Structure 1
Amino acid sequence: MAQEQYQVIARKWRPQTFDDVVGQRHITETLKNELRSGRIAHAFLFAGIRGIGKTSAARILAKALNCQSSPTPTPEPCNQCDACLSIKNGTATDVMEIDGASNRKIEHIRELRENIKFSPAKLRYKVYIIDEVHMLTKEAFNALLKTLEEPPKHAIFILATTDDHKVPITITSRCQRFTFRGLGFSQMGEALRKITDAEGIRIDDQSLLYIAKRAEGSMRDAQSVLEQVISFCGKDVTREQVAELLGMVGGESIQQVTDAILANQPERILEVVDALVMQGHDLEQFYKDLVEHIRNLLVVKISSNAPQLLENSLTAADVLQQQTASISFQELQAIFKYLIRTEPLIKQSAYPRFTLEMALLQAPQMRAFELFDTTLHTIHALGEKFSAFQTLPPSAPPAIVPPDPIEDAIKIFRGARAEAVLPEERPQ
């Protein structure tokens, strides 16, 4: 007996109804209302990053337009009739998915224009889903304009793109535009939890957070990473295994290196980096996590009542509070700006470990620079106040000109010896 072909998680758990689409309620509710009212646009533009449901929503919309369980378009396709099943399986002759990258020339669009004139063979509507539409040539876009503006009543266009700024305004103005949002870690964690529970996978929330962080807002990427984790760990997934597989650094290491930076402990910084290298962690990912941690410290410094802004933190809120106790907001901000500016050097360096070590060793000095800038700003402010006393009425006797307080203060601050001028020696 032939073995049943395995279906990967990303395909098995692909959304089949509007309610299944994660994190895009502002879009799915609008589409459902249009289907209920019958006010359906003839062209749609779905824009957003990869793996967040653009093509899935297009297929669901195609099923909603053609579902045979209802005499009219319905916001809740049955997924059981011949129309829904054929669209799901990709065998519907009246629903055409076109890859804009490989069908980008003007002759492909001319062929589409010729075929669109004919009525649907079996379904209620002909639906044209053009993926990565921004890849079309300029001539192809121009050929599509008239058809896109006034298509036959039986035709619906759904354009999908990850680079909407490359789509000409003449095209976007003829479409109803929907911008899909990147998903938050909590949204992806909840969706992944449903999958793991249904698949019988035992995994903790911290591991799901690691997977969500690696996916960077893409649900499809998160599902692919989960597939890889299951292959590595089996049905019993531990946090340590996930961290090892993905090269993730735990909150403890981030906390240790941050404490070393704030306390100006260069030896401790080198020890933490050495441990990360020995454990095979991704240093670039570690640096990103460190920048995010410093950002979380800034958030705690501004407001301790912002848990929704710290939901993705690998470190507990009470630990963040302790770390911010000995440093000012301005000093933290100076360290954060420095780390942001240094990130490209680590990404491009042929010696990432050495570059990372030097960057972290220099980070504590940002506190001293911030104190210098603050002191210098205070000196200039005082100098502006003293300058008001130098302006006297014309009838007043000549005043003794005091020494410039700004210049003297700067000389003292830099360790230079200021020259004292006696009052009787000052010029009149």
Structure 2
Amino acid sequence: MNQEPYEVIARKWRPQRFDDVIGQRHITDTLKNELQQGRIAHAFLFAGIRGIGKTSTARILAKALNCVSAAGPTPDPCNQCASCLAIKQGTATDVMEIDGASNRKIEHIRELRENIKFAPAKLRYKVYIIDEVHMLTREAFNALLKTLEEPPSHAIFILATTDVHKVPITITSRCQRFTFRGVGTTELAQALQKITAAESIVIDEQSLLYIARRSEGSIRDAQSILEQVISYCGKEVTQDKVSELLGMVGSESIETVIEAILSNAPEDMLNVVNSLVLQGHDLEQFYKELIEHFRNLLVLKMSSKAQHLIENTILSTAVLQRQIQSHSFQELQQIFKYLLRTEPTIKHSVYPRFTMEMALLQAAQLKSLESFDAVLHTLNTLGEKFSYFKQQPKVVLSDPDERPPTQPTDIIQKAIEIFQGEIIILPEVNSAL
């Protein structure tokens, strides 16, 4: 008996209506209003990161323009008529999806310009969806300009790109631009919850948050990761198995390292790093989670009412409150800035473990370092003590080539210039001064 081919979650749950698109309400509402009012632009530019609904929204717009269940363009395509089904299945001859990476040369655009002159064969509009449009060559963009500015009344262009800065301004100025946003962790976890409920998958909330965090705002990435998790765990997904599969670090390790940095306990930090290496965890991902955690501490330290801004954390609010009690905002900010500044070094290091260990040890030492304001105050105090040197007579040199002795005030001024713009200085320098 022939078995139906399996359809992956990302394709099975692709949005079919504007209301199905996740996290892009500002775009879908605008498009629905345009369709309802009959104010349809001739060219659209969809920009944003991968996997957040650009191509799906373009297909929905194509269906809305050509749905035969309505007398004209409609904000709510039926998904049942021949036109909607053909567009959904990718068989509509009047809706052309063009890959900008493989059709990037000027001859491809010339062919498009020749074909666009002819009226649609079956549908109401000819719709050209050019994906990754930033991959077109300069000559191809120039060939597209005139057609994009004054296309035939039966033609609609939808350009999609993950790198809008590479699209010439002459192109963007001829389009109605929409910027798609990355989906928040909580909203993404809720969307995954609907999928797992419909698929009869038993999964806890924390596992969904793990998947949402790893996807970094991409719906397609989250669906693909969920597919992998189900393949590994089966119909009953547990938090431990998700952590093992994704290489997620447990809350205990994160909490231990944070406490070790704040209390300057190097041995605890090194033990956690060693454990992560033995378990095969991604050290770069772990370091990013540390940076994110210190960001959350800063937000909570700034205002106790800012808890709604902290959504991407595996530690409870009680733990966060305990960690910020005995530390000032400046201390936390100093550590955060240092971790953020050293992240590229760990990312590109040949020895990421050693680099991260040294970075964590240095971060733990920041509390014992003097701030620039304290150093500047010390130097100014010393300057006042040696101010009498300013009243001393100038040294007359018998030899023009002889160098005058350096005055203490000159040293202080030079030190201020050196330290200007620096953040920290070892306390030993302060005591020596």
The TM-score with structure 1 as length reference comes to: 0.89
Residues 265, 93 of structure 1: alpha-carbon distance in 2 compared, 3 angstrom cutoff: same
Shift of residue 46, structure 1, vs aligned partner? 0.4
Matched residue type, 1:270: L
Residues 78, 300 of structure 1: alpha-carbon distance in 2 compared, 3 angstrom cutoff: same
Residues 30, 375 of structure 1: alpha-carbon distance in 2 compared, 3 angstrom cutoff: same
1:239-278 alignment runs, 5 A limit = 239-278=239-278
Shift of residue 178, structure 1, vs aligned partner? 0.5
1:8-407 alignment runs, 5 A limit = 8-369=8-369, 371-379=370-378
Shift of residue 414, structure 1, vs aligned partner? 3.7
Query: What is the distance in 1 between the residues matched to 2:46 and 2:363?
Result: 43
State the secondary structure of the residue aligned to 1:340.
Answer: helix
Of residues 356-365 and 146-155 in structure 1, the stretch that sits farther from structure 2 once superposed is 356-365
Shift of residue 378, structure 1, vs aligned partner? 3.7
Q: Percent sequence identity over matched residues? A: 71
Query: What is the distance in 1 between the residues matched to 2:41 and 2:383?
Result: 64
Shift of residue 389, structure 1, vs aligned partner? 12
Shift of residue 376, structure 1, vs aligned partner? 1.8
Residues 44, 200 of structure 1: alpha-carbon distance in 2 compared, 3 angstrom cutoff: same
Aligned 8 A contact 2:203 2:238 in 1: yes
Matched residue type, 2:287: Y
State the secondary structure of the residue aligned to 1:363.
Answer: helix
Query: What is the distance in 2 between the residues matched to 1:93 and 1:130?
Result: 15
State the secondary structure of the residue aligned to 1:178.
Answer: strand
Give the aligned partner of residue 422 of structure 1: none
Shift of residue 266, structure 1, vs aligned partner? 1.1
Query: What is the distance in 1 between the residues matched to 2:371 and 2:66?
Result: 69
Matched residue type, 1:75: P
Query: What is the distance in 2 between the residues matched to 1:78 and 1:133?
Result: 29
Query: What is the distance in 2 between the residues matched to 1:325 and 1:38?
Result: 58
Give the aligned partner of residue 399 of structure 2: none
**How many residues get paired?**
404
Residues 5, 368 of structure 1: alpha-carbon distance in 2 compared, 3 angstrom cutoff: same
Consecutive unaligned residues of structure 2, counting only runs of 5 or more, are 391-407, 417-426
Query: What is the distance in 2 between the residues matched to 1:281 and 1:378?
Result: 45
Deviations, residues 218-251 of structure 1 (Å, cap 9, x unaligned) = 1001100000100011111111111110111122
Shift of residue 345, structure 1, vs aligned partner? 2.0
State the secondary structure of the residue aligned to 2:117.
Answer: coil
Shift of residue 281, structure 1, vs aligned partner? 1.3
Shift of residue 384, structure 1, vs aligned partner? 8.9
Query: What is the distance in 1 between the residues matched to 2:387 and 2:128?
Result: 74
State the secondary structure of the residue aligned to 2:177.
Answer: strand
Query: What is the distance in 1 between the residues matched to 2:386 and 2:32?
Result: 68
Query: What is the distance in 2 between the residues matched to 1:343 and 1:153?
Result: 52
Residues 264, 72 of structure 1: alpha-carbon distance in 2 compared, 3 angstrom cutoff: same
Query: What is the distance in 2 between the residues matched to 1:3 and 1:179?
Result: 41
Residues 384, 190 of structure 1: alpha-carbon distance in 2 compared, 3 angstrom cutoff: farther
The TM-score with structure 2 as length reference comes to: 0.88
Shift of residue 382, structure 1, vs aligned partner? 6.0
Deviations, residues 337-386 of structure 1 (Å, cap 9, x unaligned) = 111121122112222222221211121111122x3534224435767999
State the secondary structure of the residue aligned to 1:147.
Answer: helix
Of residues 268-277 and 149-158 in structure 1, the stretch that sits farther from structure 2 once superposed is 268-277
Query: What is the distance in 2 between the residues matched to 1:285 and 1:6?
Result: 32
Matched residue type, 2:169: I
Matched residue type, 1:240: D
Aligned 8 A contact 2:378 2:430 in 1: no
Deviations, residues 97-117 of structure 1 (Å, cap 9, x unaligned) = 000111111111111111111
Q: CA RMSD in A?
A: 2.4
